[in-house]
Structure 1
Amino acid sequence: MANYEITVIPGDGIGPEVVDSALQVLGEAQKQFGFTLDYATYDFSAELYRRTGRKITAADMDEIGKSDAVLFGAMGLPDVRDEEGLELGAQVQMRAHYKLFASLRPVKLFEGVPNAVRAEKIDMLVIRETSEGMFAGLHDKHEPSDEEATDRMTITRATCETLFAEAFDQARARRKRGTPGRVTLLHKSNALRSNVLMEKVFDEVAAKNTDVESSKYYIDAGSMYMVTDPGRFDVIVSENIFGDITSEIAAGLVGGLGVAPSADVSRTHGVFQPSHGSAPDIAGTGKANPTAMILSAAMMLEWLGEKREDAVLVDAASSINAAVEKVLATGPRSADLGGSASTDEVTDAVLSALRSAATLPAGA
């Protein structure tokens, strides 16, 4: 029986609630598939910072980095800011510390989920670069001023090459599952020097991966196409801020952030969390949709399974995804998807679907 060490960071707001849902589903998957996840839980929440001034440190991240993966809830409270006026979020520090160069944000239009656009099928992966772009200067020296503030955008060849190689690899893997296997760069090379370099490197990487179709759009036109013709996209790759915005547009196409998982990854480390925030306004009310967190947990199993060549984890991830898809199609659904089910009711339905699938005869 394979054992894996998992770091759990519940965070703020609805983070602990949806993490609890994911852990319940992972627990059922462990029973069914015969693997073990050993958890170590850490508190680096904004609420902790409010009370104690404690933030995540390099030593903390060195220790956490020894685990096989990180399961992350949601972090940040609007009224809790650091000394520079920014919201607290250990995700940013972890991206830099572990060199998590890509945020993988898949979206899929599930049966039964209302959406805001005219499209029968939406199935795309937005890859957001996470360490450079408009986040490159986060640790630059900053002189507080009420008259002027500057943020730096930096793009490097090395990160682009790694990022785009990941995009083409993801397209190949998705093609095996029935998507077109196409990579699209969204950029702004007509106005930003940094994006001129990004486009140049993309063209070079595309020329080495001619088995995968590629295309490019300016970020403004590409964002419009996402809404008017989402079917033209499979894998989208973009700069940090552009990728952050377009991944939220993509989530809006398929019912919202409540069904949008994500993973921040490098070749060796992975942090898995829902795309949504901490939603402190509904914390403790039982209204949180746990779907994105559960799907993020499934992404963690799939990533670990592929990295460790453990087919059991990949199968478990597929089973969780199928259970979620069944519940989204038949209900119960949470309020953000037009229903009235509580967090616990949605979680229980996923658990029931997971158990039902395990009792079906082979080939059923």
Structure 2
Amino acid sequence: MAPYRIVVLPGDGVGPEVIAEGLKAIRAAMEGVSLEAQFIELEIGAARYRRTGAAFGQEDIEKVRQADAVFFGAVGLPDVRLPDGREVQSGYIYRQDLDLYANIRPVKLYKGVESPLKKAEERGIDYVIFRENTEGLYTFGKGGFRIGKEAAVNPLIISRKGTERIVRAAFQMARRRRGAPEDGVKRVTCVDKSNVVEAYAFFEEVFREVAGEFPDIQSEHYYTDAMTVLMVQRSWHFDVVVTENMFGDILSDLGAGTIGSLGLAPSAEVGDHHGLFQSIHGSAPDIAGKGIVNPIAAILSGSMMFDWLGATHRDPKASEVGRRIEEAVETVLAKGRVKTPDLGGKNTTSQMGDAIVEEIKA
């Protein structure tokens, strides 16, 4: 089998720091199973926009299309803005171009990490948020407009096709999982505001139709405001959560807070043929260059990338790379000897990466 072609997009802020540790872990795990990959680094982001007037190179899009996967850092700097006032973003180009409709965000409390929730360590937190990634309120720069200096409008788009495929992917994931920590029940929870917004009522309607295809999986529905309370009071009840784009963005950050840190929250943005993998945290320019950012979210995103490559290409070696990385992360966290500041420790970004590599090689 030819080496995998993986495009690497470090981006802005802490992006290059966490990507460096992610690649370090990936290479160590690949070496252990004799798997080969070609890593192609491209420049993307606000720093590039400030220098050249473009956040990405048009010639790079074809390289991304031809890649087996994309390993993404972070994009955006608060002092670099587009003429309409928005921060520079470029990930949306790839989401739309590659049709990465499923943004998969695990929310998992690892042993050795303290949760702010009193009962979490006893009961466990382990669920996955499926965020629809190509429509909803986020149209990624397309469709919105201003009415002079008096108003601005953005459309909320919910399509049958977009909703069916993200809901179906969520139910398929539930079939592969062990069920919720609370009771072992395999369930999919739909979250929206169908009580007040017509588009969300349509989202729920399509959800219930698709749920009928999966009689072996329990389905349920909550309004978004109620869900924010339940994620704090009963996180252990959830198994797979499916929701619209903006709500998925917000709820996954809340979920990360319940498991100890945004620095522990990876993500996979996948479609039928392409995949992009990144931490859910942003570029964090306030701590960039200080060597204190937690690289675990990026390292776990690398694990998800190889798990996806293994499943997509039916390649057990790639799947083994993903497994080795996650197990090493679990071991380091459980031992509790190495902790970055967000976890209550004083270790550096590279020290955390080194500890994980050491476990991979053990």
Amino acid at match of 2:343: L
Instruction: Give unmatched runs, 5+ long, in structure 1.
Output: 357-364
Instruction: Select the residue among 347, 354, 357 that pairs with 1:351.
Output: 357
Give the equivalent residue in structure 1 for 2:341. Answer: 335
Q: Does residue 290 of structure 2 align to residue 295 of structure 1? A: no
| TM-score w.r.t. length of structure 1 | 0.94
Spell out, residue by residue over 1:174-194, the C-alpha distance to the aligned partner (whole angstroms, 9 max, x if none).
Answer: 138986321000011110000
Post-superposition offset of 1:69? 0.2
Q: What secondary structure, in the 3-state scheme, does the structure 2 residue paired with 1:5 have?
A: strand
1:1-364 equivalence runs, <5 A: 2-56=2-56, 59-118=59-118, 119=120, 120=122, 121-136=124-139, 138-140=141-143, 142-143=145-146, 145-175=148-178, 180-330=185-335, 331-356=337-362
SS at structure 2 position matched to 1:172: helix
Q: Which amino acid aligns with 1:236?
A: V
Structure 2 Cα separation of the partners of residues 110 and 141 of structure 1: 40
Equivalent residue number for residue 360 of structure 1? none
Name the counterpart of 1:359: none
Between 148-157 and 177-186, report the one with greater CA deviation: 177-186
After superposition, the Cα gap between the structure-2 partners of 1:337 and 1:327, relative to the gap in structure 1 and judged at 3 Å, is same
Q: Deviations over 1:39-84 (max 9, x none)?
A: 1110012101011102235553233110100000111101111122
Deviation at 1:142, TM superposition (A): 2.3
CA distance, structure 2, for counterparts of residue 304 and residue 211 of structure 1: 27
2:317 corresponds to which letter in structure 1?
V
1:103 counterpart SS class: strand
Amino acid at match of 1:308: H
Amino acid at match of 2:324: S
**Distance in 1 between residues matched to 2:261 and 2:79, nearest whole Å:** 24
Q: Is the CA contact (8 Å cut-off) linking 2:22 and 2:302 kept in structure 1? A: yes
Q: Give the Å deviation of 1:144.
A: 6.0
CA distance in 2, matches of 1:166, 1:192: 24
Q: 1:4 to 1:202 in 2, by over 3 A?
A: same
Identity of aligned residues (%): 41
Q: How far off its partner does 1:199 sit? A: 0.7
Higher mean C-alpha displacement, 175-184 vs 34-43: 175-184
CA contact (8 A) 1:137 1:152 kept: no
Secondary structure of 1:10's aligned partner: strand
**Are the equivalent residues in 2 in contact too, given 1:320–1:354 (CA < 8 A)?**
yes
In the aligned structure 1, how far is the partner of 2:348 from the partner of 2:95?
32
Give the CA deviation at 1:196: 1.1
Aligned residue pairs total 356
Once the two structures are superposed, residues 304-346 of structure 1 have per-residue CA deviations (whole angstroms, 9 ceiling, x without a partner) of 1000000111112111101001111113010000011001110
Amino acid at match of 2:25: V
Deviations along 1:224-264, whole A, 9 cap, x unmatched?
10111111111001011111111111111101210000011
1:292 maps to a residue whose letter is A
Stretches of structure 2 lacking an aligned partner (at least 5 in a row)? none
Structure 1 outlier segments of 4+, above 3 Å: 176-180
Given that 1:58 and 1:97 are in contact with CA atoms closer than 8 Å, whether structure 2 keeps it comes out as: no
CA distance in 2, matches of 1:92, 1:54: 14
Task: Measure, in 1, the Cα distance between the counterparts of 2:251 and 2:36.
Answer: 36
Q: Is the 8 A contact 1:13 1:283 kept in 2?
A: yes
Q: What is the alpha-carbon distance in structure 1 between the residues aligned to residue 180 and residue 307 of structure 2?
A: 14
Conserved? CA contact 2:180–2:237, under 8 Å? no
Q: Counterparts of 2:62 and 2:313 in 1: how far apart (Å)? A: 21
Tell me the secondary structure at the aligned position of residue 18 of structure 2. Answer: helix
User: How far 1:290 moved relative to its partner?
Assistant: 0.5
Asked if the contact 1:125–1:236 (Cα under 8 Å) also holds between the matched residues in 2, the reply is: yes
Pick which of 132-141 and 157-166 moved more: 132-141
- Structure 1 177/59 Cα, relative in aligned 2: closer, same or farther at 3 Å? farther
- Distance in 1 of aligned mates of 2:5 and 2:341: 34
* SS of equivalent residue, structure 1 residue 149: strand
Asked if the contact 1:96–1:131 (Cα under 8 Å) also holds between the matched residues in 2, the reply is yes
2: CA distance, partners of 1:67 / 1:308: 13
Q: How much is the aligned-residue C-alpha RMSD, in angstroms?
A: 1.6
Partner of 1:362: none
The 1-side partners of 2:157 and 2:104 are apart by 21
Give 1:137 deviation, angstroms.
7.1
- 8 Å CA contact 2:180–2:187 kept in 1: the answer is no
Between the aligned partners of 1:76 and 1:252, the Cα distance in structure 2 is 22
* Aligned partner of residue 107 in structure 2, secondary structure: strand
Q: Is the 8 A contact 2:101 2:134 kept in 1?
A: yes
Question: Which SS does the other structure have where 2:143 is aligned?
Answer: coil
